[in-house]
């Protein structure tokens, strides 16, 4: 009989917490809208030596507004020069080697969480016979 009452009490407590909406999910700056980030570029195809404008748009962030950019593969000579005047939400991507690069924009979403967005850019080598080619 005691086991029955103990199970009944656990069920009642669980129902009570569910009914009042106890929830450990972090709150965002704009109600229940989740934090988000979207990375984009003016072009997704380019030639070595060119620069392409990359941007990151964020929504509903609680934490810091600065964007952190990474490029993969990292050892390829490709880089992003972010503009600190835009909290690093914009910058220029360059690569000196042909390849497919994944650019990742990451931001602090608050409450110990991070949000990120990937962007793929294909870099082509310069055509043979161009004056800038060695």
Per-residue pLDDT tens digits for 38-87: 999 999 999 999 999 999 999 998 877 789 999 999 877 899 999 989 98
Mean of pLDDT over the chain? 78
Name the pTM for this structure: 0.69
- Residue 3 pLDDT > 60: no
1 vs 48, more confident: 48
Any idea where the domains of the chain sit in the sequence?
A: 33-124
CATH of domain 33-124: 2.60.40.1080
In this prediction, residue 111 carries a pLDDT of 79
Q: Which tokens go with 6?
A: 């103990």
What is the reported pLDDT for 31? 55
Residue 13 has pLDDT above 90, yes or no: no
Query: Looking at per-residue confidence, does 10 or 123 come out higher?
Result: 123
Q: Bin 84: left if φ > 0, else alpha if -120 < ψ < 50, else beta.
A: alpha
| Distance separating alpha carbons of residues 119 and 45, to the nearest angstrom | 12
Q: At 63, is the secondary structure helix, strand, or coil?
A: coil
Nearest residue to 49 via CA among 127, 108, 102, 116: 127
């Amino acid at each position: 009989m005691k086991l029955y009452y103990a199970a009944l009490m656990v069920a009642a407590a669980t129902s009570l917490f569910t009914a009042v909406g106890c929830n450990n999910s972090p709150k965002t700056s704009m109600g229940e809208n989740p934090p988000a980030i979207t990375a984009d570029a003016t072009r997704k195809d380019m030639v070595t030596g060119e620069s392409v404008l990359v941007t990151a748009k964020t929504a509903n962030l609680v934490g810091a507004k600065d964007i952190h950019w990474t490029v993969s593969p990292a050892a390829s000579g490709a880089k992003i020069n972010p503009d600190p005047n835009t909290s690093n939400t914009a910058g220029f991507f360059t690569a000196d080697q042909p390849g497919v690069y994944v650019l990742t924009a990451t931001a602090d979403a608050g409450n110990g969480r991070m949000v990120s967005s990937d962007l793929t850019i294909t870099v082509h080598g310069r055509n043979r016979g161009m004056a800038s080619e060695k």
